[in-house]
Amino acid sequence: MLIDTTLREGAQLFGAYFTTETKVHILSGLLALGVDEIEIGWVGQDDLEELVDRIRPMTGNTALSIWSPCRGEDIRKAAALNVNRVNIGIPVSDLHIYKRLGTDREGLLERLAQTVLTAGILGIEYISVGLEDISRADEDFALTAGHIAREMGASRIRLADSLGILTPLKMAKLVHSFNRQLDIDLAVHCHDDFGMATGNAVTALESGAHYADCSVLGIGERSGIAATEELAAHLTLKEKSHAYETGEILELCDFVSHAAGVPIPRTKAVAGKDIFACESGIHAHALGKSPEIFEPYDPETIGADRTVAVGGKSGRSAIRLALGENEIVYPEKRIPELVTAVKQLSWQLERPLTTQELTELTKLH
């Protein structure tokens, strides 16, 4: 199941500033997609109460959660909000424990126990504890922290690869270890510093994790995290294990792209405008016969269009296909001449040809 954190992790992206109206628009898109949980922000956020009040009537089966540091005063603020879940973050690597928090392992565990217990006393029904920087932590100590959180009433442990240094094999091993030794919901938070985020998240889910964090376009601190659109498409269109409503996902990606100031590469998985564009002769020929030969899923399932253009890589089959699709009548015996003309013009322009340019060439050759 997917925990979208575009409005918490994603909002931490350098230079990203979301207005309340922008956040409501993003939330509406996420609810339409049908993600299982939305981490709507963090304790202390200026517009948090207004945001919760405005979106709560529309949430349906989607859980709303809030992120909080592992501090009693922040938990009390979180408990006053109309959210379903509270995600408590606490680091478990010695580097963070000693140098960032200025405490030791025993002090950290004591703080964790007190904070989770406080959350339960305050009536928070679903308490999630995020073990930050777990990929650099002592695993036995991290497991001890998980056991204490569980004993104090936590419902979920979230394993955070905070620097994105795990690989899928190491992620699988970590998830198996926690699942084997700890009877509790398990989530993962995978950063993308080495391009492993979505792969690690998929591997974690396949290895027994119950939840995976994600954000639209993967935006977040530094290189970001696993991408919502990639996970939703994979689970729905490839694995068919979930039924996320992917039909308008491109619109959501485009909106977040503009709001966050993050351009979408034209070949970006799921979200790129050219992922269903083709000019290669062999591919174009195959698409004309049966699209599934070279397409992993139907473009319409994500609200995309297929584009077959002719250019410097096109052969006779691609030219015939383009002529037919554009209802251009052209003598078969002159196709080789047209192919040559198309290739010459395309290389001159350094791009595929438009329909108008192809039409003009048919008049000249």
Task: Give the separation between CA 220 and CA 38, rounded to whole angstroms.
Answer: 15
Domain boundary at 215, 235, 260, which?
Answer: 260
Q: Is the residue at 272 inside a domain?
A: no
Mark whether 172 and 96 lie in a shared domain: yes
Q: Would you give per-residue pLDDT tens digits along the chain (365 residues)?
A: 999 999 999 999 999 999 999 999 999 999 999 999 999 999 999 899 999 999 999 999 999 999 999 999 999 999 999 999 999 999 999 999 999 999 999 999 999 999 999 999 999 999 999 999 999 999 999 999 999 999 999 999 999 999 999 999 999 999 999 999 999 999 999 999 999 999 999 999 999 999 999 999 999 999 999 999 999 999 999 999 999 999 999 999 999 999 999 999 999 999 999 888 776 555 555 565 667 777 888 899 999 987 777 888 888 878 887 888 788 888 888 988 898 888 999 899 998 888 888 888 888 87
Q: Is the residue at 270 inside a domain?
A: no
Mark whether 13 and 127 lie in a shared domain: yes
Mark whether 59 and 185 lie in a shared domain: yes
Task: Give the separation between CA 316 and CA 335, rounded to whole angstroms.
Answer: 7
Mark whether 299 and 231 lie in a shared domain: no
- Give residues with Cβ within 8 angstroms of 223, minimum separation 6: 164, 191, 192, 193, 195, 197
Domain that holds residue 358: 277-364
Q: Is the residue at 267 inside a domain?
A: no
Mark whether 285 and 149 lie in a shared domain: no
- Give residues with Cβ within 8 angstroms of 121, minimum separation 6: none
Mark whether 248 and 351 lie in a shared domain: no
pLDDT of residue 362: 87
- Give residues with Cβ within 8 angstroms of 122, minimum separation 6: 75, 76, 79
Q: Is the residue at 266 inside a domain?
A: no
Mark whether 79 and 9 lie in a shared domain: yes
Mark whether 237 and 322 lie in a shared domain: no
Mark whether 94 and 151 lie in a shared domain: yes
Residue 34 CA: distances (Å) to CA of 59, 248, 356: 9, 11, 41
Task: Give the separation between CA 24 and CA 53, rounded to whole angstroms.
Answer: 11
pTM metric for this prediction? 0.91
